[in-house]
């Protein structure tokens, strides 16, 4: 018992001197009138593994649909990207769809996976380098909303950003436009953008995709609180919060929250946060687009649509843009 207490005292004194972006964002988000936590913190190592399990769920049509679109059109996509390009992937996760692309690309100069989930990124990059020994794989741990420096010594004039997974949909429209503008600057006048995003469809299909029967999505959402407990010394009681998600048709997005099941208070770095029963913390949006709506957003920062591929049900779209 004493060892446990010593350990906790040690952990708490470490945490009281913590000064991390996660702590600053958590305190700011939880002290606001409408509580929120930024969705990028869903992805620690466990979060990335849970997301991989979500991708395999029956209800989560997004991954298998985008993978199929990519496989069905791989030659046309590779032709659009062209020979000898540097492929920079935003939010690369386990780089699963990327393998379909890499199998078809002509002599890519390098593959640069960019992700915020460092351990998962570096592990994936190691595996990929073994699978593609000829390929120059250069992972970058970064928050793509903030911009990042490209590695030195890349032997190519042409950069293509690959942004699959409907990750752009997690950003509110003004933030999505800002990231599209960063991409536009990064690729210069000779590059391209290959991007996958989810399309508007029936409420039933959408809501099932974000609240599966096995509860994997709920574990993924609640992992945010688990991470805050571990990294920030918070004391969220996970049995007193629940995952809530629904489609907001007017805003065209899935909204995901954790909901307090009772009146309770939570301590983070000596700050006490009060919750009423039924009060929610906003965790994530997943915006659903139309093809013309998305094209218009990309055109607003200087992109021109070159190609669009979709599935028979029009569930998901993959678009290719140049400047
Ligand atoms: C929805 S998953 C998509 C993963 C993969 N691209 C796919 O298509 O299956 C989002 C990925 O983006 C990463 N991510 C989320 N926000 C990020 C950010 N702000 N900067 C960098 N990576 C981020 C996550 O760690 C995760 O790997």
The reply to whether 279 and 296 lie within a common domain is: no
Residue 45 lies in a domain: yes
**How far does residue 115's CA lie from ligand 1's centre (Å)?**
6
* 51 and 66 inside one domain: no
CA-CA-CA-CA torsion sign (248, 251, 253, 258): negative
- Distance (Å) from CA 168 to ligand 1 centroid: 9
CA 93 to ligand 1 centroid distance, Å: 6
The closest-lying atom of ligand 1 relative to the alpha carbon of residue 63 is 9
Report the pLDDT value the prediction gives residue 15, as an integer from 0 to 100.
Answer: 56
Q: Which residue, by CA, sits nearest to atom 13 of ligand 1? A: 91
pLDDT score of 17: 60
CA of 273 to the centre of ligand 1 (A): 29
pTM here is 0.94
Looking at residue 12, its pLDDT comes to 46
* Ligand 1 contact, 144 CB (< 6 A): yes
Predicted pLDDT of residue 14: 56
Question: In this structure, is residue 193 part of a structural domain?
Answer: yes
CA gap 282, 221 in Å, rounded = 10
CB proximity list for 271: less than 8 A, separation 6 or greater: 27, 31
Question: 93 — alpha (psi -120 to 50), left (phi > 0) or beta?
Answer: left
9 C-alpha vs ligand 1 centroid, how far in Å?
Answer: 35
Note whether residue 14 is domain-resident. Answer: no
Task: Kindly state whether residue 295 falls inside one of the protein's structural domains.
Answer: yes
Check whether residue 119 and residue 260 sit in a common domain. no
Q: Nearest C-alpha to atom 3 of ligand 1 is from which residue? A: 165
**72 CA to centre of ligand 1 in angstroms:** 23
Same domain, 303 and 281: no
Cα of 319 to ligand 1 centre, how many Å?
A: 18
The reply to whether ligand 1 has any atom less than 6 angstroms from the CB of 316 is: no
Same domain, 261 and 297: no
Residues 138 and 153 in one domain: yes
Q: List pLDDT tens digits, range 59-82.
A: 999 999 999 999 999 999 999 999
Is residue 8, in this structure, part of any structural domain at all?
no
Number of H helices, E strands in the chain: 11, 12
Pocket lining: 294 vs ligand 1, CB cutoff 6 Å: no
Say if residues 197 and 163 touch (Cβ distance below 8 Å): no
Residue whose CA lies nearest to ligand 1 atom number 7 = 165
Q: What is the pLDDT of residue 19?
A: 79
Give the residue ranges of the chain where pLDDT is below 50: 1-13
216 and 197 both lie in a single domain: no
Tell whether 10 is covered by a domain.
no
Is residue 4 in some structural domain? no
Q: Which of 55, 89, 99, 115 to mutate to test the pocket of ligand 1 (most atoms within 8 A of CB)?
A: 115
> Which ligand 1 atom lies nearest to the CA of residue 145?
19
Q: Is the CB of 145 under 6 A from ligand 1?
A: yes
Q: Does 260 reside within a domain?
A: yes
Nearest alpha-carbon partner for 157 in 209, 109, 107: 109
Q: At a CB cut-off of 8 Å and minimum separation 6, what does 7 contact?
A: none
Is the same domain home to 257 and 173?
A: no
Domain tally, the chain:
2
User: Ligand 1 centre and the CA of 110: distance in Å?
Assistant: 20
Q: Is 129 left (phi over 0), alpha (psi -120 to 50) or beta?
A: alpha
Decide whether any atom of ligand 1 lies within 6 Å of the 98 Cβ. no
Question: Could you tell me if 171 and 307 lie in one domain?
Answer: yes
Which atom from ligand 1 is nearest to the alpha carbon of 97?
Answer: 8
Q: Say yes or no: 197 and 223 in one domain.
A: no
Shared domain check, 230 and 133: no
Same domain, 256 and 281: yes
- The residue segments making up the domain with residue 87 are 61-201+288-322
What is the chain's length?
323
């Amino acid at each position: 018992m004493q060892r446990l207490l010593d350990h906790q005292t040690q952990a708490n004194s470490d945490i009281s001197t913590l000064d991390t972006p996660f702590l600053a964002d958590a305190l700011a988000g939880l002290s606001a009138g409408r509580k929120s936590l930024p969705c990028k913190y869903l992805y620690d190592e466990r979060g990335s593994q849970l997301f991989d399990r979500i991708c395999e769920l029956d209800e989560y049509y997004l991954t298998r649909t985008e993978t199929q679109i990519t496989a069905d059109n791989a030659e046309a996509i590779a032709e659009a990207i062209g020979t000898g390009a540097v492929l920079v992937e935003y939010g690369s996760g386990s780089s699963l769809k990327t393998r379909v692309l890499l199998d078809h690309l002509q002599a890519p100069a390098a593959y640069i996976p960019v992700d915020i989930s460092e351990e998962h990124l570096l592990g994936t990059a190691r595996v990929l380098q073994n699978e593609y020994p000829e390929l120059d794989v250069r992972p970058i741990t970064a928050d793509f909303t903030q911009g990042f420096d490209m590695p030195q010594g890349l032997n190519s004039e042409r950069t293509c950003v690959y942004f699959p997974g409907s990750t752009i949909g997690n950003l509110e429209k003004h933030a999505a436009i800002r990231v599209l503008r960063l991409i536009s600057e990064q690729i210069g006048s000779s590059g391209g953008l290959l991007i996958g995003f989810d399309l508007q469809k029936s409420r039933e299909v959408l809501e099932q995709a974000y609240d599966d029967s096995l509860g994997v999505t709920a574990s993924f959402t609640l992992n945010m609180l688990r991470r805050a407990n571990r990294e920030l010394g918070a004391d969220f009681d996970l049995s007193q919060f629940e995952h809530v998600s629904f489609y907001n048709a007017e805003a065209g997005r899935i909204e995901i929250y954790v909901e307090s099941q009772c009146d309770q208070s939570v301590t983070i770095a000596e700050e006490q946060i009060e919750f009423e029963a039924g009060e929610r913390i906003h965790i994530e949006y997943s915006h659903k687009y139309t093809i013309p709506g998305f094209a218009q957003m990309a055109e607003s920062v200087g992109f021109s649509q070159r190609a669009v591929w979709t599935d028979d049900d029009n569930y998901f779209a993959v678009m290719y843009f140049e400047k």
